[in-house]
Amino acid sequence: MKPRDSISTRYILNDLIKNKGVNLALLVILVLSAFLMATGSMVMERLVGSVNQLFDEAKPPHFLQMHKGEYDQAALDRFAAEHPEIDAWVVEEMLGFDSAALAWERPSTGENGDLADSLIDNLFVTQNPDFDFLIDQDGEIPRPSAGEAYVPVAYEQRFELAIGDELRVKTAEGFQELTIAGFVRDSQMASSLSSATRFLVSEADFEALSEAGGGAPEIIVEYRLTDASLVSDFQRAYESDEALPKNGQAVTYQMIRVINAFSDGLVAMALMFVSLLLIAISLLNARFVIRGTLEDEVREIGAMKAIGLPNKSISGLYLSKYRAMTFLACVAGGLLAIVATNLLTRTVQVNYAEAPLGLSTFLVPVLALALVYVFVVGICRRVFKKIRKIQVVNALVHGSTLDDRQTARRAKRQAKRVRRTSLAAFRGTNVNRRLAWLDLRAESAQWILIPVVFFLASVLMTLPMNLLSTFESPKFVTYLGAQESDVRVDLQFSEDVDTVREDVLAAMRQDERLTAVRTYANVLYEAEGEDGWEIFRVEVGDYSDGSVAFTEGGRPESGQIAVSVLNADKYELSPGDDFTIRLDGASTTLTVSGVYQDVTSGGYTAKMEGEVTAGAAAYVFYADSAEGEDPAAIAADYGDEFPSAASIPMREYVTQTLSYVTDAFRSAAVLSFVFGIGVAALITSLFLKLRLTSDRQKMGMLSAVGFSTSEIIAQVRGKTLFAVAVGTVLGPVFAATGGESVVGSFIALAGLGIADLAFIPNPLLVYLVYPLALISAGYLTALALTARLRGADKSAWLRG
């Protein structure tokens, strides 16, 4: 060991023993920061890896178009022949069954149940020949034999299904039994935000199911291109071809990727966000501790300078401790992160694929931790630059870290201050409180740590909570382009859709369990895009009840149209602009009334006032349930009565489809609540500990001139309470303003059609419970730490 190293080691050991509490607190916060940073980056890496792996195996389509009803096979063949960029294409036939029509039984034990709790569509398909494969858990492409079925992995977990269980499908002709031969992952529909999921059966069973009836036939036209970057041109070409089937949703490769990454990437993003705030807190804290150390050890530093040690060696000596601590924190945080990542990515691995461990698996978290290390040590090094300014004489004689110029400047500042602040001019009668206030002002450079930390902690706690309450709010569906309602009935295109519409509407209007029935029709207009006319989806209905929230402008009236955020971008529209659309060759020019956010149909929609009763591609009805009625039961009744209608209890549906995201936010909210309170309390105790030590003589003096211990304690508590409250109050204010736009722009970046995320906070929690919890944490810490002052011999304070 080199001599300097051994000095460093000895110094570190001595310091660790001497300042156990302070060092431990710093270490804990550093470990937490490193842990969260490593976990966030590892989850991100695993997620991207898993998605890539699944995409490699399953080869999802680059463009797909859903459709219900008749279609022109010849037109599809012609289109394919005209487009050499198509590598492969397929028309996948699907049979949709209601969850209630699916039941299972375990022959060995007789256990059974049904899947009725699931609200998403269950589509039965056969394995595709060339691409868009459903993949089993070994990464293989399963081809079921007759009598076998492969069930989505999500259902395996949710309903605890096992290989060998019987799956019973209720068709119009009775039950058809299949044996579960395995579980499949679906690249198209893996996302927890997906509204449908696919079951794999053999050709023979598919034929049997479709002959038996009871399922809703649907197709997806899927294309795989020679080059994925051609997708947008390709989509435009497809949509401008009149003869092609297109009454359902169109989805591109990018959208599949984004949706996949969005739902699960949010967790990783939340973790990294929490980590960044914690790093900020630990840096502030380190700076405070370092400054304290320099003040405490200024004479030693002076002595080292006096014997001729260069500044670099001295700061190196001190820095060695922070280097060691940060390094230790990074290693410990990294190790803990491995455990946490395994827990957090378990569902990701099941739904997508087990990503192989590669170089990046190690490199990404190591790089993230290296950044943390470099950043923290770099900041510490900067604080230690102060050592250069310390002058031997001032340090040794006056115990001051300041050089002559700084000393003079400080004296001047102080002289100016004491001329102004004056007890003599003080009007109040509470001298104790006045003194605390003057103290706080004079020592604001130190005390600022507390409000800043509490501000950060409060932001840390509030933002995830606001996200959670926003996604959980019944109003959130309006962000998704749907209306706030209890029951929603969808009628997709079919031969007799207009008659069914009359029947459903009549039934709903007569139904006493329902109130406020609203009807909307989806009409496929055309609009002129860059390459000519293309499909333009317009929802026609009555918006006078103000059920849609507009980010710009207002609701459409007659002769007007409102467009979704993505359409507004695409066609460069804003309120007041004229916009021409056409239907069956007849054009109309409308004025844009407003812009709203929407994630349905890929986010490209529009709304017009009016009523369309025939010829639409689809119809949607919304209704509220009367007091005391169960929306789920009502929805189920309509599903039974009108098999071609998809009827869902809206709130439950949204809760279910968003449950994965809200679960992630809930974990993030709980985690950041615990960390926020814990870190805030930890730093308060650290700060007060150091503060009380350096204030000993002052407290001794106050005691000598007649201040009681209670009054001295009250001063400290009052100052803490004030500092804590200021920081805490600013937190939610920022979260509601700046924080909202930061988070909102992240979500806007995802390109889902949410341009302007307005939080729907839980006011009681965010504006009352959280601040109170934080303030209590700070105040209780102050109570605990100052309680020790009672009963002390005050002379000990004066003796230093």
Partner 1 sequence: MPQTDQVTLECESLTKTYYSTDPPTQVLNGIDLAVKRGEFLVVMGASGSGKSSLLYSISGMDRPTGGNVTLEGRELTSMKDPEVSRVRLTSMGFIFQQAYFLSNLNIQDNILLPALKATPKDKAGVVARVDALMERFGIEHVKRHGITQVSGGQLQRASICRALAGEPTILFADEPTGALNSSMTAEVMDALSDVHSGGTTLVMVTHDPACAARADRIVYLKDGLLVDSRELGAWTKEDAKRREDEVFAWLSEKGF
Site membership for partner 1, residue 9 (CB under 8 A): no
Site string for partner 1, 657-686 (x = CB under 8 A): ------------------------------
The option from partner 1, ligand ADP, none interacting with 243 (CB < 5 to 8 A, set by class) reads none
SS3 425: coil
Interface region with partner 1, contact rule CB under 8 A, candidates 16-24, 275-283, 369-377, 411-419? 411-419
Ranges of beta strands (E only) in 465-574 are 487-491, 514-529, 532-541, 550-553, 560-564
Site membership for ligand ADP, residue 796 (CB under 6 A): yes
Of 707, 759, 770, 779, the residue at the interface with partner 1 (CB under 8 A) is 707
Site membership for partner 1, residue 441 (CB under 8 A): yes
Identity (one letter) of the amino acid at 792?
A: A
Of 701, 749, 768, 787, the residue at the interface with partner 1 (CB under 8 A) is 701
Site membership for partner 1, residue 445 (CB under 8 A): no
Of 18, 84, 308, 422, the residue at the interface with partner 1 (CB under 8 A) is 422
CA proximity to 135, closest of 71, 58, 68: 58
Site membership for ligand ADP, residue 787 (CB under 6 A): no
Interface region with ligand ADP, contact rule CB under 6 A, candidates 279-287, 358-366, 566-574, 790-798? 790-798
> What is the dihedral angle through the alpha carbons of 46, 49, 51, 55, rounded to the nearest 10 degrees?
-160
Q: Which is nearer to ligand ADP, 674 or 796 (CB)?
A: 796
Q: Which is nearer to partner 1, 748 or 798 (CB)?
A: 798
Task: Output the CA–CA distances (angstroms, integers) from residue 430 to 436, 680, 783, in the order listed.
Answer: 10, 30, 21
Interface region with partner 1, contact rule CB under 8 A, candidates 92-100, 196-204, 549-557, 695-703? 695-703
C-beta of 795: minimal distance to ligand ADP in Å? 6
CA proximity to 490, closest of 797, 249, 765: 249
Beta bridge partners of 519: 621
The option from ligand ADP, partner 1, none interacting with 439 (CB < 5 to 8 A, set by class) reads partner 1
CA proximity to 592, closest of 533, 551, 532: 551
Of 74, 81, 415, 764, the residue at the interface with partner 1 (CB under 8 A) is 415
Q: Where does residue 645 rank: exposed (0-12), middle (13-18), buried (19+ CB within 10 A)?
A: buried
Contact 313, 4 (CB under 8 A): yes
Q: Which is nearer to partner 1, 382 or 417 (CB)?
A: 417
* Residues near 781 by beta carbon (within 8 Å), at least 6 away in sequence: 681, 684, 685, 688, 720
* Residues near 207 by beta carbon (within 8 Å), at least 6 away in sequence: none
Residue 627 carries which DSSP code?
T
Q: How many residues does the chain have?
A: 800
Interface region with ligand ADP, contact rule CB under 6 A, candidates 465-473, 666-674, 746-754, 792-800? 792-800
Site membership for ligand ADP, residue 627 (CB under 6 A): no
Interface region with partner 1, contact rule CB under 8 A, candidates 79-87, 306-314, 702-710, 751-759? 702-710
C-beta of 309: minimal distance to partner 1 in Å? 30
The option from ligand ADP, partner 1, none interacting with 776 (CB < 5 to 8 A, set by class) reads none
Interface region with partner 1, contact rule CB under 8 A, candidates 1-9, 254-262, 773-781, 792-800? 792-800
C-beta of 695: minimal distance to ligand ADP in Å? 17
Q: Which is nearer to partner 1, 254 or 432 (CB)?
A: 432
Site string for ligand ADP, 739-778 (x = CB under 6 A): ----------------------------------------
SS3 760: coil
CA proximity to 543, closest of 477, 610, 589: 610
Interface region with ligand ADP, contact rule CB under 6 A, candidates 387-395, 535-543, 756-764, 788-796? 788-796
Site membership for ligand ADP, residue 793 (CB under 6 A): yes
Backbone angles phi, psi at 215, to 5 degrees: -100, 155
- Residues touching partner 1, count (CB under 8 A): 41
Site membership for partner 1, residue 710 (CB under 8 A): yes
CA proximity to 580, closest of 536, 628, 625: 536
- Binding positions for partner 1, 718-737, rule CB under 8 A: none
Residue that is written with structure tokens 């919304």 in the block: 622
Q: Where does residue 459 rank: exposed (0-12), middle (13-18), buried (19+ CB within 10 A)?
A: buried
Q: What is the DSSP string of 695-752?
A: THHHHHHHHHTT--HHHHHHHHHHHHHHHHHHHHHHHHHHIIIIIHHHHHHHHHHTTS
Beta bridge partners of 580: 589
C-beta of 799: minimal distance to ligand ADP in Å? 6
The option from partner 1, ligand ADP, none interacting with 706 (CB < 5 to 8 A, set by class) reads partner 1
Q: Which is nearer to ligand ADP, 398 or 696 (CB)?
A: 696
Of 85, 439, 557, 569, the residue at the interface with partner 1 (CB under 8 A) is 439
Backbone angles phi, psi at 246, to 5 degrees: -165, 35
Of 429, 510, 544, 558, the residue at the interface with partner 1 (CB under 8 A) is 429
Contact 15, 289 (CB under 8 A): no
Site membership for partner 1, residue 419 (CB under 8 A): yes
- Binding positions for partner 1, 751-790, rule CB under 8 A: 790
Interface region with ligand ADP, contact rule CB under 6 A, candidates 215-223, 246-254, 648-656, 789-797? 789-797
The option from ligand ADP, partner 1, none interacting with 572 (CB < 5 to 8 A, set by class) reads none
Contact 562, 553 (CB under 8 A): yes
Residue 400 carries which DSSP code?
-
Site string for partner 1, 47-86 (x = CB under 8 A): ----------------------------------------
Site membership for partner 1, residue 393 (CB under 8 A): no
Distance CA 775, CA 729 (A): 9
The option from partner 1, ligand ADP, none interacting with 422 (CB < 5 to 8 A, set by class) reads partner 1
Backbone angles phi, psi at 743, to 5 degrees: -65, -40
Q: What is the DSSP string of 492-523?
A: ---TTHHHHHHHHHHHHHH-TTEEEEEEEEEE
> Is residue 250 within a helix (H) or strand (E), and if so which, with residue range?
strand 250-252
Distance CA 223, CA 81 (A): 13
Site membership for partner 1, residue 430 (CB under 8 A): yes
Distance CA 77, CA 74 (A): 5
Site string for ligand ADP, 502-541 (x = CB under 6 A): ----------------------------------------
Q: Which is nearer to ligand ADP, 673 or 797 (CB)?
A: 797
* Residues near 698 by beta carbon (within 8 Å), at least 6 away in sequence: none
Of 703, 720, 781, 786, the residue at the interface with partner 1 (CB under 8 A) is 703
Residues that bind partner 1 (CB under 8 A): 411, 414-415, 417-419, 421-424, 426, 428-432, 435, 438-439, 441-443, 697-698, 700-701, 703-711, 790, 793-796, 798
Residues that bind ligand ADP (CB under 6 A): 793, 795-796, 799
